[in-house]
Amino acid sequence: MNSKDLPSARGRSFRAALLAGIGIMAAVDEIIFHQLLSWHHFYDGSTTEVALLTDGLLHAGELVAIVAAFFLLLDLRRNGGLYVRKAWAGFLTGAGGFQLFDGLVDHKVLQLHQIRYGVPNLMAYDFAWNGFAVALLLAGLLLNRKAGHTTPSPAETVHR
């Protein structure tokens, strides 16, 4: 890979890992909070069957995102263009972005579901959920900024 390809490789590394972060965080939400803890479903405004269907659709979407990201990252690695710091920045940004979107849009604006039902203080759950999201998102954005536009060192790229 020559120096002219670096901006493209940085951007592709960030975007591919962003997709992975979205997929992984959706999987964490769906597996832990929907299935293991049974706190909510993706859509709780209807029957149990509809709630389970929407969970299945979320699960299918997260798997598509994870597999697509995996192949995009493998292609970058194979071509010697995987910029590791940008990829980590993208992953954290995607995970935090998904979590924040879920906490604000799905929970509050669209009211598809709440984080947890039957608790005396839902606001504490909202603050924890969205606070964790903001922390991930800021970590990703700061790492992305720190990775900047400099030429990566050999330790920051994966070569064939």
- In this predicted model, what pLDDT tens digit does every residue of 139-153 receive, in sequence order? 999 999 998 765 555
How large is the average pLDDT for residues 14-29?
Answer: 98
Predicted pLDDT of residue 5: 59
Nearest CA-CA partner of 45 in 110, 130, 119, 118: 110
What pLDDT, on the 0 to 100 scale, is given for residue 157? 60
Instruction: Domain ranges for the chain, please list them.
Output: 3-150
CB 156 within 8 A of CB 83: yes
The strand pairing partners of 157, in sequence order, are: 83
pLDDT above 70 for 7: no
- The pTM (predicted TM-score) of the whole model is 0.89
**Amino acid at the residue 156:** E
User: C-alpha distances in angstroms, 63 versus 20, 57, 59, 86, 147?
Assistant: 10, 10, 6, 22, 28
Q: What does the block give as tokens for 88? A: 């980590």
| Cβ-based burial of 52 (10 A; exposed 0-12, middle 13-18, buried ≥19) | middle
Q: pLDDT tens for residues 39-87? A: 999 999 999 999 999 999 999 999 999 999 999 999 999 999 999 999 9
- Quick check: 97 pLDDT over 60? yes
**Angle, helix 6-28 to helix 122-147, in steps of 10 degrees:** 160
Determine the Cα–Cα distance for residues 60 and 74; give it in Å rounded to an integer. 21
pLDDT band at 116 (very low <50, low <70, confident <90, very high): very high
Predicted pLDDT of residue 3? 47
Kind and range of the H or E element at 83?
Answer: strand 82-83
